[in-house]
Structure 1
Amino acid sequence: MQWLMCPVCRENLGLNERTWGCAQGHRFDLAKQGYVNLHVVQHKHSKQPGDTPEAVDARRAFLSAGFYAPLRQAVEALLAKYQPKTLLDIGCGEGYYTQAMQQHVTDCIGVDIAKSAVQRAAKTNSKVTWVVGTGAVLPVLDQSMEICTSLFSPIPQQEILRVLKQDGLCLVVTPAPQHLYDLREQLFGEVRLHEPEKFVTQLSDDFELIESQVVDAPFVLKQQDIQNLLAMTPYAYKARPEMRQALEQQEQLALTASFQLYLLKKKARAAV
């Protein structure tokens, strides 16, 4: 089954050999890496939206080392419990979590606004439908998904409502209050705790919270790992250069990542 939506006319897209097309004649070719670019020019606000190639490469190196594996395992456990068949991963990045989630569903779509990220993701798992696209107009059909996931990504609430089936699920992963506390303390001195509950409040009109859990992942980073972690987070450009440089020069650093998982269910009365 094909779930993609034409970003121009919003009709169903079908795949013919290596081209996605709709009944209105709009055509989108598969790139050689296996993804399709549905981020049309009228939806763009910059020439190179999303993460830089350098940030994408740093994230891939860091995640592939397994430091955030406890989070991936927790996400997979939720999918195994609820067994959705169609999944849309919003802000899939280079595909670390998406390729794991694909193994638990029948149809999996990964979408990200950063072309460089999707190019790398497309090489990880050919069973995922990889798409360059924007959360402002999610490139899937109305009421076609059983679950939408947003892991450290924006939450386009109205678009998620549109694409979710009735009683569909939304999985949000965001930093827990103590996430990377020691790292932030060294970078900024004074640390403001993350406030994950704001997302439940934001979604409360349209979604019912059904599960909540915090996953902690302690680890010790070597110097290159520290540099990769900094390069993949917003902390890199928010910190003063001398603070970042001092941290990057450390030979090792013990940290704990702390993740807040919220699983929400679309309310029957939720209006699109």
Structure 2
Amino acid sequence: MLVCPVCKEPLSCENHQFVCKNHHTFDQAKEGYVNLSLKQKKMTGDNPAMVRARTAFLEKGYYDFLRDALKMIIHEYSAFTLLDAGCGQGYYTKEFASCVNTVYGVDLSKAAIQYAAKHDKKSTYIVSSIYDCPFRNESFDLVTTIFTPDAKNEFYRLLKPGGYLIQVGPGPFHCFELKSILYENAYLNPEPLHVRPGFTCIDIQNIKRVFLVKDLRSLLEMTPYRYRTKASDLDKIDSYSSLNVTFDFMIHVWRKS
């Protein structure tokens, strides 16, 4: 299933090394993951501080209802092979491995993949870009993409004919209360498109919950608002000890034609 990122020949694992027939070699880390990104010198993806903030927030259970909803959807489609594209620290991936035989998680953040591989020994984790995943064509029954960029062509290439893509993004009211503090004119998120070349949309779900959030800084650190907002506006959040926040998600299920 895995291919060499240099020459695209199949990889085999021998003595904790992944090797292709052209003798390109990639060492398996002690945590169990393998780095198949060719951009070794440039720091990319979430850094360790961002991973810690995201982990601290997710461990409070605010997004458990989304994770549980995704597991129910995955159960419906009886997948044997699943790729979690842009898996981060494996919060969702680990749960998917409880209902799918073979699960891979791919992310460009080495820090996130290190954490994921250390805490989930059933899934296989790989450092790689989701735009150039090191897998053969049509390797997966199901691909999940949760709050990650939409690598349309790559997801199509990776899925088997009739395979499923589960795509999760923000609903209209996601974190609206947080945005109301940061911005003078808070905005609703736009509705996503319901058309995708090469796919048929077979299910759309909108799920949301409101939670009293006390660790607002951790929430802010894992949102794109952290990088789109002036520092003076970011500091507004520190005047709040807690806030009722809406978590609103749109789930699209697509079937490859």
Same fold, judged at TM 0.5 (above): yes
1:129 aligns with 124
2:208 aligns with 216
Residues 1:106 and 2:98 aligned together: no
1:70-97 per-residue CA deviation (whole Å, 9 max, x = no partner) reads 1000100001111111001110001101
Which residue, 5, 10, 27 being the options, matches 1:7?
5
| Alpha-carbon shift at residue 207 of structure 1 (Å) | 0.8
2:176 aligns with 181
1:8-66 per-residue CA deviation (whole Å, 9 max, x = no partner) reads 1111111112111112211111111111000013xx7x711111211111001100110
1:261 aligns with 251
Give the partner amino acid of 2:199: F
1:244 aligns with 234
| Alpha-carbon shift at residue 247 of structure 1 (Å) | 1.0
Residues 1:71 and 2:61 aligned together: no
Q: Distance in 1 between matches of 2:153 and 2:191?
A: 20
Question: Any conservation in 2 of the 1:6–1:13 contact (CA below 8 Å)?
Answer: yes
1:29 aligns with 27
Question: Any conservation in 2 of the 1:54–1:231 contact (CA below 8 Å)?
Answer: no
Q: Distance in 2 between matches of 1:237 and 1:197?
A: 22
2:198 aligns with 206
Which residue, 15, 18, 21 being the options, matches 1:20?
18
Give the partner amino acid of 2:201: L
Question: Scaled by the length of structure 1, what TM-score is found?
Answer: 0.91
Coordinate RMSD, CA, aligned:
1.3
| Alpha-carbon shift at residue 160 of structure 1 (Å) | 1.1
2:221 aligns with 231
Q: 3-state SS of the aligned residue for 1:197? A: coil
Q: 3-state SS of the aligned residue for 1:123? A: helix
| Structure 2: gaps spanning 5 or more residues | none
Equivalences, count: 257
1:270 aligns with none
Give the partner amino acid of 1:160: F
CA gap 1:4/1:248 in 2 versus in 1, 3 angstroms = farther
1:167-186 per-residue CA deviation (whole Å, 9 max, x = no partner) reads 01101000011111111111
Residues 1:150 and 2:145 aligned together: yes
Q: 3-state SS of the aligned residue for 2:119? A: coil
Residues 1:120 and 2:112 aligned together: no
Q: 3-state SS of the aligned residue for 2:67? A: helix
Give the partner amino acid of 1:210: I
| Alpha-carbon shift at residue 196 of structure 1 (Å) | 4.0
Residues 1:194 and 2:189 aligned together: yes
Q: 3-state SS of the aligned residue for 1:147? A: strand
| Alpha-carbon shift at residue 189 of structure 1 (Å) | 2.0
Question: Any conservation in 1 of the 2:176–2:187 contact (CA below 8 Å)?
Answer: no
Q: Distance in 2 between matches of 1:34 and 1:196?
A: 39
| Alpha-carbon shift at residue 192 of structure 1 (Å) | 2.6
Question: Any conservation in 2 of the 1:174–1:196 contact (CA below 8 Å)?
Answer: no
Q: Distance in 2 between matches of 1:237 and 1:164?
A: 33
| Alpha-carbon shift at residue 210 of structure 1 (Å) | 0.5
